Amino acid sequence: MDSINRMAVELVDEAIDFAEELRITPQELDSGARVLDFGVNAEGGVEAGLLLAEIQTAGLATIQTRMDDVAGVQTPHVEVQTDHPAVALLCSQKAGWELEFDDPVFEGLGAGPARALVAEEDEFRTLEYFDEFELAVLSIESISLPSKTVIDHVAQKADVNPGGVMLPTYATGSIVGSVTAAARAAELALFRLFELGYDVRNVHSAYGSAPIAPISHNESVAMGRTNDALAYGGTVHLTVTTDDPVLEQLPSTAHNKYGTPFQEIFAEADWDFYDVPESVFAPAQVTVDVIDGPTHVLGDTNEELVAESFDY
């Protein structure tokens, strides 16, 4: 497989070429690094969110929207399909790079293929997947645009020149934030499988769908809604080669926090994402099709909770 950062760079170039139509604001710094505002100060849009989800999955997934209802209300959904689930979802899309700096103050969560240049997370060692490329693409979820300090840190960790760093950035409480969050249903399923000790290389293909949460510029409300959309409204279909009893623990219904709105879950953790139990981050319903074996239908959606979270 070609470098996932190279594939993502082509999509970043596309975003820059169509910045006006996407309602995003690209900026090239003196170092040559590029910061793309997808939804911090820029307005962004659904198409921008879909393109950013493609960037986050390094172009290894098909991503589109559809209409469906939530508790009787027509609501846009995002659908993601990939035949490269381990690489596209865990080695690229997963938000696994915490960024926190004091001078200047910055907090963000990084996702995307630049993580594979660093390859410090357990997934990379287990999957034995590492990327090498002279450019690094890291999508950042933050209420602030990254500073030179952030750029230099990413460059140092990814072993590239600062001029080779590309940072598409957006707030959770933005159109792009809601769209890219809804694109994570399948990624959550893969991550949950990995945490359960299942060899995710046995996942042949993955399909996920989740409703797009209504936009709130209140980041606490946005965090709650986007996670409720996944844990209580997200559905996933996996085709796997190996059956395993741990599959029963895959959906969010398997956790004792099931049924608790995420605003409450985050509040209990003092809004520290990393103090929330990882097992709560799972899709509501998962169908697992075992090749030459059974088909498991696990969990269920909770449309009433999603509708209440969405203020329907």
- Does the pLDDT at position 103 exceed 90? no
pLDDT band at 269 (very low <50, low <70, confident <90, very high): confident
What is the H or E stretch that residue 251 is in? none
- Is the per-residue pLDDT at 272 higher than 80? no
Length of the chain: 312
**Which two tokens mark 202?**
């046995």
What band does 279 get if pLDDT is binned at 50, 70 and 90?
A: confident
Q: How confident is the model at residue 257 (pLDDT cuts 50, 70, 90)?
A: confident
pLDDT tens-digit map of 142-195: 999 999 999 999 999 999 999 999 999 999 999 999 999 999 999 999 999 999
Query: What pLDDT sits at residue 14?
Result: 98
Per-residue pLDDT tens for 213-223? 999 999 999 99
Look at residue 299 and give its three-state secondary structure.
strand
DSSP assignment of 193-207 equals HHHTT--GGGEEEEE
Question: For residues 166 and 137, is the Cβ–Cβ distance under 8 A?
Answer: yes
DSSP 80: E
pLDDT at residue 274 tops 80: no
Spatial distance between the Cα atoms of 216 and 213, rounded to a whole number of angstroms: 9
Q: Are 287 and 281 in contact (CB under 8 A)?
A: no
- Over the stretch 50-93, which tens digit does the pLDDT of each residue have? 999 999 999 999 999 999 999 999 999 999 999 999 999 999 99
Mean residue pLDDT across the chain: 96
Q: Which one is predicted more confidently, 279 or 92?
A: 92
Q: Which amino acid appears at position 286 of this protein?
A: V
Residue 40 is predicted with a pLDDT of 98
Q: What are phi and psi of 159, to 5 degrees?
A: 60, 50
Q: Tokens standing for 81?
A: 């399909």
Secondary-structure percent of the chain, ordered helix, strand, coil, rounded to 5? 40, 25, 35
Domains and CATH numbers, the chain: 4-59+92-170 (3.10.340.11), 175-310 (3.30.1030.10)
Share of the chain above pLDDT 90, in %: 92
Question: Each residue of 257-294: b (16+ CB within 10 Å) or e?
Answer: ebebbbbebbeeeeeeeeebeeebbbbbbbbbebeeee
Q: What is the pTM of this model?
A: 0.96
Residue range 242-264: average pLDDT? 93
Rounded to the nearest 10°, the torsion over CA 274, 142, 47, 7 is: -70
